[in-house]
Amino acid sequence: MAWIKRNLFFVIGGILAIVLLGAAGFYNYKGWNHNSVAFDQLNEIYGTLRSLTSQKLSAGSDKVNNIEAAKEQERQLREWIRQGGDYFKTIPPVPNPSGGVVSSEEFAAALRRMIDQLQHEADTASVALPPQYDFSFKAQRDLVKFSGSLEPLAQQLGEVKTIAEILFAARVNALDGIQRVRVSEDDTSGPQADYLDDHSTTNNQAVLTPYQITFRSFSPEIGVVLAGFASSPHGFIVKGINVQLAGAAATDATVPAPAPGMAAAPGKGGLQTVLNEKLLRVTLVVEAVKLLPKK
């Protein structure tokens, strides 16, 4: 007992070490047992796959008609694709001539009308814009003749219009900018702030065109924006979102006052703050999905 008293801390440390070693051993045993069970299940799955791949394909039997079952599954898959297509309606290009070929005169006139219309819609929705904002078409705004085919630009103009109107419907405080990929030789002379260093991608089903949108709002409007993209009849995929506090010098646009009911923090002696939400700067990366024509 005297030795224990003289070496009390050593004894306590030794006991703790033994307890910790026991706990570590138990943890290792549980982990080993879990891995062993998972390995057995994996071997069982591999065995089932080997058994299935070794079987010869057949039309079935008196009880099972594999051909009819495959046809039914194909019918169900095509029906699912048809129903899914209702949520991926192609955004009409602007302009959208009946012949499909866009002339320089048609595009120039449509571009100016669309920019004026979007500026008016932003003003109606109390959404601040950068001064003389061209919605990423500054390179084309003053042109009357354009390089190359105008169909890609017309498609982008229609998509930018749809994206901007989703933001206006959510009544965000300010739209700082929309960036798109370059699709025309004229885009090489435009400001870098209008463009993404990216490109559209094509898979077996669709063409995916990225856009980057930067706006300022409070958190409820962010939810409305995301809901707007999710409920749109056109195919939009939100690929990324970055949210940070809005700086005072984010853009030259003037930010409107908070919406009614959004209380600001009062000074000394004022009423108790019910809600003191900060203005946020949001960057969204969105892909517009255009289904390929059916073969």
Q: How confident is the model at residue 272 (pLDDT cuts 50, 70, 90)?
A: low
Per-residue pLDDT tens digits for 122-156? 999 999 999 999 999 999 999 999 998 999 999 99
Residue 264 is assigned to a structural domain of this protein: no
Per-residue pLDDT, averaged over 252-269, amounts to 47
Yes or no: say if 266 and 273 are a contact pair by the CB < 8 Å rule. yes
Q: Which tokens sit at 79?
A: 């029906």
Instruction: Note the pTM of the prediction, 2 decimals.
Output: 0.67
Per-residue pLDDT tens digits for 75-92? 877 777 666 667 678 899
What is the distance between the alpha carbons of residues 189 and 89, in angstroms, rounded to a whole number? 32
Going through 114-220 in order, the beta strands assigned E by DSSP cover 174-181, 195-196, 201-202, 206-217
Q: Name the 3-class secondary structure at 31.
A: helix
Q: Which tokens sit at 148?
A: 């190359």
Yes or no: say if 175 and 122 are a contact pair by the CB < 8 Å rule. yes
Question: What is the tally of structural domains in the chain?
Answer: 1
Cβ of 114: how many Cβ atoms within 10 Å? 19
pLDDT value at position 41?
77
- Tokens 């892909």, located at residue: 287
Q: Domain of 183: which CATH number?
A: 3.30.70.60
pLDDT value at position 29?
59
List, in sequence order, every residue forming a beta bridge with 180; answer none if it has no partner: 195
What is the distance between the alpha carbons of residues 245 and 224, in angstroms, rounded to a whole number? 18
Residue 90 is assigned to a structural domain of this protein: no
Range of the domain at 196: 104-254+277-291
pLDDT value at position 107?
96
What is the distance between the alpha carbons of residues 25 and 29, in angstroms, rounded to a whole number? 6
Measured on CA atoms in the order 209, 223, 126, 120, is the torsion positive or negative?
positive
Q: Which tokens sit at 83?
A: 């129903």
pLDDT value at position 97?
92
Residue 269 is assigned to a structural domain of this protein: no
Residue 75 is assigned to a structural domain of this protein: no
Residue 38 is assigned to a structural domain of this protein: no
